[in-house]
A and B are shown apart, each in its own frame.
Chain A
Amino acid sequence: MSIEYMGLSEINGPLIAIEGIKDGAYDEIVEITVDHKEKKIGRIVEMYKDKAVIQVFESTDNMSLTNCHTRLTGHPMEIGLSEGLLGRTFNGIGEPIDNLGPVIAETRRNVNGKPLNPVSREYPRNYIRTGISAIDGLTTLIRGQKLPIFSGNGLPHDQLAAQIVRQASLGENSDDEFAVVFAAMGVKYDVAEYFKKTFEESGVSSHVCMFLNLANDPVVERLITPKVALTAAEYLAFEKGMHILVILTDMTSFAEAMREVSSSKGEIPSRKGYPGYLYSELATIYERAGIVNGSTGSVTQIPILTMPNDDITHPIPDLTGYITEGQIVLDRSLNGKGIYPPINVLPSLSRLMKDGIGEGFTREDHQDVANQLFSSYAKVGEARALASVIGEDELSPLDRKYREFGKAFEEKFVGQGFNENRTIQETLDLGWELLKLIPRSELDRINTKILDKYYPVVEN
């Protein structure tokens, strides 16, 4: 019964316009047949009476005003879902590209999702152990959290993400199912290949579902990729009861794609040419992390974004930081010192950490140790600044101790091997070992009882 519309009235980059449409709905998906052969899909982004402006998910090359047939599908963008998604690889709009045939869908869902009702959320409290000291000890990842990695070009964010995927464990009750949804937006072929290989080598491939939009794939497709991936993640988490870790890389490409499409639509730009709805659009992605009341599963997000010119105040990292529950910031100068992972702990933060650590979760002294390490490491910066002005020799003995502590902290605590998987105990003990480099009286963030237990006064 579906009507096909012949021809187009306008083509402009990824956008096409059709007139004379009956019954087209905002946000509806259309199928476009070019020259009776090639099929493309698009989405209605503006609708005026009988004129629809359509965003085509693939390239508009070869399309002309006369050789296209357009059919309305009558529904918004959907994806078929089942447990069969795991172990499979799809393109950016959820079509299989691994030659294993279509996924047999149990149900179909609108990829746009719906806002999760705050009263139906459960506050996340359980931590995920990543085996990385800087994360476990100082910016603990919590199930149901969204914790992005702020990185720069050339920094090892991919390795870090891969290490997290390999080592992530749920701790004691690990009989719960754990799976990874991986979405790549505009990443280089090598990066996608790297992740694929890492997943295969560590034997987790059967628990990974990949959505790949590579750098040379259509830009518009990128806008839908994270939504497709998160729809899959929500299904697996809240209906199949799995714990899902979603890796989204690179959010900067996603935002760039949005700017490109917005500008070809002729919209009024706001900051740095990005559309005014950048915040809302990012929020609809990040806010899909969480735990639903009464479900055993969870969606945890680790979005990766490369800060243009390492600038944390650029709109993309800035708006992201306001939505996500903390951030892990990679630092070029640490990387230059050969420290892996080059996590700069001072601007890094996990907002949900305080409720998921301590007695009953990790260890009683966790919060105090973390606070003290932060505070002492902040002083290292002051000592270094002073040394660069008056020279190292002139430093007071205390400042020298701080410099020593800073060096050890960066090399031993932050720095660790790519395959090194530390337990929480090891991480915290290491923290104490480092804190013992500075005099006990300087440790002003630690409760005296805990101090007595782990850093007893030595009678000399």
Chain B
Amino acid sequence: MNNSEVIYGINGPVVYIKGPTEFKMAEMVYVGKEHLVGEVIALSKDMTTIQVFEETTGLKPGEEVISTHDAICVTLAPGILTNIFDGIERPLAEIAKNSGAYINRGVNVDSLDMEKNWQVHMIISPGTYVEGGSIIAEVPETRAITHKVMIPPDLEGTIESVVEDGEYNITLTLAVLRLRDGSTRNLTMMQKWPIRIPRPIKNRFPANAPLITGQRILDTLFPIAKGGTAAVPGGFGTGKTMTQHQIAKWSDADIIVYIGCGERGNEMTQVLEDFSKLVDPKSGNPLMDRTVLIANTSNMPVAAREASIYTGITLAEYYRDMGYDVAIMADSTSRWAEALRELSGRLEEMPAEEGFPAYLASRLSAFYERAGMAENLNGTNGSVSIIGAVSPQGGDFSEPVTQNTKRFVRCFWGLDKSLAYARHFPAIHWLTSYSEYLNDLSPWYNSHVGPNFMECRNQIVALLNQESSLMEIVKLIGSDVLPDDQKLVLEIARVIRLGFLQQNAFHPEDTCVPLEKQLKMMEVILYLYKRSRELINMGMPVSVLKEDDIFEKVISIKYDVPNNRLNMMGDYFKAIDDFYDGVIARN
């Protein structure tokens, strides 16, 4: 069998080989003297096309292309968490050690540390019959996460022998497996999995629990389920990255996979710095302990950008298989779509809408469908939730990436330019956003937070909608002509916008808010509305109500009531009653 071919032509990241070859589709190959990593993307009788994941400057026709007989794979073993990788799972810190501040080409480093010894605790004994996914050992990977060593999904058989508990590196044999056909296989902590193929599961479940993010507008108004999918579209400067950072920091997922796909280098540096410093409020460990970063910044090679999304989701699926809830932040899927467009252009494929290839929609759907709540092969339950940022061209949501994404996600958090200009953050617009998980999750909220949660939520949404239709009138003729009960709606909506929807990511109390406080805040606001409306119905003008500072006080509940002292909320109901009595007494 022919193991190598020679390069015929080079055009940017695309390399051609003349004539029929033995290569397979999606096979990983090494290109040229420097062994640049590439992938076979098209085969024909006359020409084989390869996309190269590294800069091709200096490559010459006639240089070798070597087959590896394998698809592009990621290495799965302890050592993934706390790490930062490029788009094809090469550790950036190791690359920096080898080649300095700039990324050289053809760097040959192992994805994971092969030398490091891990404390292994075997939980299986000889003679046990095991299938793909079965857990054979446990390794404390970080302070927060126990890594479960599993049988690769495609193997089954009887365990012949196991090693003692102790320190091993990821290349050493932990157990010997006798397969059905009588042959034996040595099992280590390490396995490989091709990035473009979803890891198998036993069953999928519908969503039934929310991914709690501590962000009021998300948790209360537009919740996402564990195993759900959400899109965060917004023009530049509207806060996509900020929203993703907040969810990565504060959501109640066990593992976070953060994919910086074609974004800014400084942003990745910031995540690295912040997450190492910040402490997870639940476990008390650094946030980095549960995080893995994939950084393929905009100036790194475009083909690796295309792969980074798949690398990220494969890592996420691997941790899901251990029974963890994993959340992926993909920032931004538009850059990934543009990488597709760029490569498609190089291949001279027929462009569809806006120059994007016609297969954009099917690639997007295949990606988002890898999310879900699942029963794994080993019987544990885990989930992969995807939160994808979308950077629409010109902030216009009608462009192909946003539109196609909308078809495949069930949560849409639309960021709004005018809110961002007024520095209302998070700039998620309550009128354009939606969550299809509301009905699925209502029972959970009502039984876990409070039986009136959904009712309060719906009242808040109704008030905001009323405000928006009143604003249409105000824009035309000013607010003075409105009757007092409608003026009150505007006042209360202002309280909701400033006191509830606006959330300060840089304020220690306000950056992450527990659901109980979110509910209490809604109750206080609605109670204020109820009491004020009673006054209005008695004929009091809104200006009288505004003489008291109760509205401002309610707005600053978010800062004034610490998250761990929710009993202080009772004072506000009393203050509202006092305000009510006071107004009556004075008038």
Contacts and interface: CB of A to CB of B under 8 A. Distances in A.
Interface in A37-82: 45-50, 76
Interface range, B side? 35 or more
Interface string B242-270: 00000000000000000010101110111
A386 interface: yes
Given A119-B84, A268-B345, A280-B302, A25 B59 contact: yes
B342 A26 contact: no
A397 B476 CA distance: 17
B421 interface: yes
Interface in A283-337: 283-284, 286-288, 290, 292-293, 312-315, 318, 321-323, 325-327
A360 interface: no
B395 A313 contact: yes
Interface string A377-407: 0110010011001100011100100000000
A25 B60 CA distance: 4
B480 A115 contact: no
B345 A290 contact: no
5 contacts: A120-B101, A275-B345, A322-B236, A396-B480, A444-B498
Contact of A115 (B84, B103, B474): B103
A374 B391 contact: no
Contacts of A268: 345, 348-349, 351, 355
A46 B355 contact: no
Given A116-B101, A321-B236, A325-B266, A389 B475 contact: yes
B231 to A, nearest CB: 16
A402 to B, nearest CB: 13
Contacts of B101: 116-117, 120, 238, 292-293
Interface stretch (B91-99, B173-181, B284-292, B429-437): B91-99
Contacts of A47: 9-11, 59-61
A331 to B, nearest CB: 13
Given A76-B57, A315-B393, A118 B344 contact: no
Contacts of B295: 118
Interface string B4-26: 00001111100010100000000
A117 to B, nearest CB: 5
A112 interface: yes
A24 interface: yes
Contact of B477 (A27, A119, A315, A389): A389
Interface in A94-135: 110, 112-124
A452 to B, nearest CB: 14
Contacts of A355: 270
Nearest to A267: B345
B478 A283 contact: no
Nearest to A51: B9
A277 interface: yes
A396 B342 contact: no
Interface stretch (A158-166, A344-352, A428-436): A344-352
B58 A290 contact: no
A28 B58 CA distance: 6
Which of the listed residues A45, A115, A290, A293 has the most CB atoms from chain B within 10 Å of its own CB?
A115
Interface of A: 23-28, 45-50, 76, 110, 112-124, 144-145, 238, 267-271, 275-277, 279-280, 283-284, 286-288, 290, 292-293, 312-315, 318, 321-323, 325-327, 346-347, 349, 351-352, 354-355, 367, 371, 374-375, 378-379, 382, 385-386, 389-390, 394-396, 399, 441, 444-445, 448
Nearest to A142: B266
Interface in B417-473: 417-418, 421-424
B570 interface: no
Given A117-B96, A284-B299, A323-B264, A49 B8 contact: yes
**10 A-B pairs with least C-beta separation:** A313-B394, A270-B355, A283-B298, A276-B345, A48-B9, A378-B422, A287-B299, A321-B236, A27-B57, A114-B102
B57 to A, nearest CB: 4
A121 B269 contact: yes
Given A313-B395, A349-B237, A441-B552, A121 B477 contact: no
Contact of B58 (A25, A50, A313, A394): A25
Contacts of B395: 313
Given A117-B103, A287-B297, A444-B498, 8 more contacts: A117-B92, A121-B269, A269-B355, A271-B355, A276-B338, A279-B342, A292-B101, A385-B475
